[in-house]
């Protein structure tokens, strides 16, 4: 068998037999009690320091015959137990060998220095014939022996468990990387093989016992050591640089993990040793622009704030952001009991006694009496209207309910806001309102028109904030892709060319709040979403980040490239879906005081025109006349252009036929009973 070469100390070689023998001895010693282990260490230190005496004499050129003189022998030996006493009193024997660090060196130096000074005094006083520098030589040899034995044993103890530890590369040899190496040495899962760092000054050096290599060496290291994981120890780099580094690592076919962000570490939410998979959120999002405190507080501080859809992805994050800016009260409204319970419990547990007044209200925005009662009871001053059905395909298959919630629900809560004197009303909108190809986008565009029309003749300031997909939200492709990868695929992508804008949930919520603070009335704010992301590339990247090789299967079931580990299946565009999304209807955006928020001037309907459209839509909903609904949406100034004229509602035409023969059983009667305007 080939001799073992230590990756941390390349010059040191062990034969397999010698290594096994040493590890066996250590395994035996591990079974001893703490008292016996300490006795062994004291004995070993005494032997090493005693053996250093003749070595010091020989190095100085003094004959060993000098030790035959009892006085000389006493002068030389007496400092040894003195050093042991110093070691004991300073706690050297309390340290566990497996976890000993450089912090033990001052104790060893103190003990050997004390012994050296005592020996120096003894030589001058009782053995003037011997050179006094013997004391310094002995102290140096003792220091090397005592410390070297400990760190050598620690290395062997670590080596004894490395057969079952996975070899890993660590990208980043800075402070975070060094802390990560220390944590990995203490654990039993990973064995750090090498650092990789862009800093040329560090390359070729050894940091925390681990060699630092250039990024160009990663492929060689991965092959040589059969690396399956690379860990990023770069907690505070920009996302642009992180994307570049990950793109280099992806080609190795390994898993990529990262330590916690610097903000999470500082806030006490995580430690540097906490590891997780690199996610698209780490790569796709931009480095956030710090929020403007004045804009964040303008509509919140000291005010009663209502969030509709408070249990949803955006609504819940709005609640988290709002409570940080000291509202007088936060009213959380949602139709989902579980979602409302979750955000209410989270905020109460997190804030404790520091929480503002929190009210969790169950209810639907389609109920006008309930909405007016809530706004009056709590004297709401600011409304963030995030309640909506946003899943394109589901709304295509449930058109009536989609319109009830997105259009008539917005009308109910907006009119109630005007009636009860709400100061500011912010509609959370979507990029799918721009030249919509689906009912969901068209319904949200009508919701925008409702807010624009109401702003004309009311004291309530209305505005709309439009943005694209948020990462990790319910219905987002990212959690779906992750789940599919964990189940070994296939990962489903609708079209190889489909692109979407992405933004992190916290950034989106912050920008919604700040945009609302700049509203003058009837504003359409558009968030800067950055560059669109090709969904097929996103799927490939996520698969590679999990250490797998992706391959694509087209709509006909044929593989477009050699089979890998996880398939990406092209399924075809869903009902109402587009290849590309847009954020602006016109091309005339204007800047604002925030660099990532623009405002657009877009055409609106007069209140009379809008009322006619809403009345016609409501009548068509009552009659379950989906063909009429489609015609009205196409004719309205929405620029609605469906991909085809097929009506995808799951209740069409069966429900329509039933409605004509049994009007008393129409679905709309239930909505009318709830108070939806007709």
CATH 3.40.50.720 domain residues, the chain: 162-278, 295-600
Instruction: Please say if the pLDDT value at position 671 is more than 80.
Output: no
66-93: b (≥16 Cβ within 10 Å) or e: beeeeebeebbbebbeebbebbbeeebb
Q: What is the pLDDT averaged over residues 265-291?
A: 67
Cis peptide before 490 (omega within 30 of 0): yes
The pLDDT tens digits of the residues spanning 394-431 come to 999 999 999 999 999 999 999 999 999 999 999 999 98
Which of these, 255, 310, 345, lies nearest to 545 by C-alpha position?
Answer: 255
Burial of 110 (0-12, 13-18, 19+ CB in 10 A): middle
> Please, how many CA atoms are within 13 Å of residue 472, restricted to the half-sphere of its CB?
14
The answer to whether 508 and 281 have CB atoms below 8 angstroms apart is no
Which of residues 285 and 610 earns the better pLDDT score?
A: 610
Q: At 677, is the pLDDT very low, low, confident or very high (cuts 50, 70, 90)?
A: very low
Helical axes 626-635 vs 607-622, angle rounded to 10°: 160
Using alpha carbons, select from 510, 550, 547 the residue that is nearest to residue 527.
Answer: 510
pLDDT score of 160:
59
134-160 vs 79-89: helix crossing angle, rounded to 10: 50
For residue 653, what pLDDT band results from cuts at 50, 70 and 90?
A: confident
pLDDT in tens, 448-493: 999 999 998 899 999 999 988 787 776 678 888 989 998 988 999 9
* Max avg pLDDT among 2-11, 523-532, 625-634: 625-634
Alpha helices (H) along 61-99: 70-77, 79-89
pLDDT at 623 over 70: yes
Helices within 556-653 (DSSP H only): 607-622, 626-635
Q: What is the pTM of this model?
A: 0.71
**584 pLDDT above the threshold of 70:** no
CATH of 162-278, one of 3.90.76.10, 3.40.50.720, 3.30.450.40, 3.50.30.30: 3.40.50.720
- CATH number for the domain whose boundaries are 295-600: 3.40.50.720
Higher pLDDT, 48 or 657: 48
3-state secondary structure of 400: helix
Could you tell me if residue 302 is left (phi over 0), alpha (psi between -120 and 50 degrees) or otherwise beta?
left
Locus of tokens 């660090």: 101
pLDDT of res. 185: 78
The pLDDT tens digits of the residues spanning 218-245 come to 999 999 999 999 999 988 788 778 888 8
Per mean pLDDT, which of 147-151, 273-277, 509-513 is the most reliable?
509-513
Model pLDDT, residue 676: 42
């Amino acid at each position: 068998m080939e001799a073992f070469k230590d990756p941390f100390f390349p010059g040191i070689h062990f034969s397999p037999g010698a290594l096994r023998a040493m590890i066996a001895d250590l395994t035996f010693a591990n079974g001893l009690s703490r008292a016996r282990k300490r006795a062994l260490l004291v004995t070993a230190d005494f032997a090493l320091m005693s053996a250093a005496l003749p070595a010091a004499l020989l190095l100085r050129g003094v004959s060993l015959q000098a030790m035959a003189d009892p006085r000389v022998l006493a002068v030389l030996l007496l400092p040894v137990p003195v050093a042991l006493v110093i070691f004991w009193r300073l706690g050297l024997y309390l340290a566990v060998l497996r976890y000993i660090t450089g912090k033990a060196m001052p104790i060893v130096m103190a003990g050997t220095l004390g012994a050296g000074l005592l020996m120096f005094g003894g030589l001058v006083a009782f053995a003037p014939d011997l050179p006094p520098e013997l004391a310094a030589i002995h102290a140096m040899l003792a220091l090397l022996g005592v410390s070297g034995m400990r760190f050598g044993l620690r290395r062997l103890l670590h080596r004894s468990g490395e057969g079952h530890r996975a070899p890993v590369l660590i990208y980043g040899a800075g402070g975070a990387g060094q802390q990560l190496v220390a944590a990995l040495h203490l654990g039993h899962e990973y064995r750090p093989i090498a650092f990789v760092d862009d800093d040329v000054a560090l390359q070729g050096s050894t940091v925390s016992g681990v060699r630092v290599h250039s990024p160009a060496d990663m492929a060689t290291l991965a092959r040589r050591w059969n690396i399956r994981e690379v860990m990023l120890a770069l907690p505070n780099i920009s996302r642009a640089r992180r994307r570049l580094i990950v793109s280099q690592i992806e080609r190795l076919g390994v898993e990529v993990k990262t330590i916690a962000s610097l903000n999470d570490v500082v806030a006490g939410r995580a430690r540097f040793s906490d590891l997780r998979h690199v996610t698209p959120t780490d790569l796709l999002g931009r480095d956030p622009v710090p929020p403007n405190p004045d804009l964040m507080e303008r509509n919140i501080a000291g005010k009663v704030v209502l969030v509709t859809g408070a249990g949803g992805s955006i609504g819940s994050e709005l609640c988290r952001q709002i409570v940080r800016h000291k509202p007088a009260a936060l009213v959380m409204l949602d139709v989902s009991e579980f979602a409302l319970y979750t955000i209410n419990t989270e905020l109460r547990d997190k804030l404790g006694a520091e929480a503002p007044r929190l009210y969790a209200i169950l209810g639907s925005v389609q109920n006008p009496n309930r909405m007016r009662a809530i706004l009056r009871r709590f004297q709401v001053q600011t409304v963030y209207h995030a309640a909506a059905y946003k899943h394109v395909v589901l709304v295509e298959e449930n058109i009536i309910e989609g319109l009830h919630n997105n259009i008539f629900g917005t009308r109910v809560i907006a009119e109630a806001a005007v009636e009860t004197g709400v100061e500011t009303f912010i509609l959370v909108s979507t990029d799918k309102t721009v030249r919509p190809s689906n009912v969901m986008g068209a319904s949200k565009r009508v919701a925008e028109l409702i807010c624009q029309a109401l702003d004309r003749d009311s004291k309530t300031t209305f505005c709309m904030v439009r943005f694209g997909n948020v990462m990790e939200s319910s219905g987002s492709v990212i959690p779906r892709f992750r789940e599919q990868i964990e189940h070994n695929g296939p990962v489903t992508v609708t079209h190889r060319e489909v692109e979407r804008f992405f933004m992190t949930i916290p950034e989106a919520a912050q920008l919604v709040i700040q945009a609302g603070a700049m509203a003058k009335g009837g504003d359409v704010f558009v968030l800067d979403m950055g560059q669109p992301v090709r969904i097929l590339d996103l799927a490939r990247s996520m698969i590679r980040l999990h250490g797998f090789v992706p391959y694509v299967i087209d709509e006909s079931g044929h593989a477009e490239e050699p089979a890998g580990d996880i398939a990406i299946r092209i399924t075809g565009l869903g009902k109402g879906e587009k290849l590309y999304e847009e954020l602006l209807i016109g091309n005339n955006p204007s800047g604002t005081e925030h660099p990532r928020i623009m405002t657009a001037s877009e055409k609106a309907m007069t209140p009379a025109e809008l009322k006619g459209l809403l009345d016609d839509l409501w009548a068509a909903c009552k009659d379950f006349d989906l063909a009429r609904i489609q015609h009205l949406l196409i004719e309205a100034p929405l620029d609605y252009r469906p991909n085809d004229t097929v009506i995808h509602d799951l209740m069409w035409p069966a429900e329509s036929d039933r409605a004509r023969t049994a009007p008393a059983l129409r679905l709309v009667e239930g909505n009318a009973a709830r108070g939806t305007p007709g």
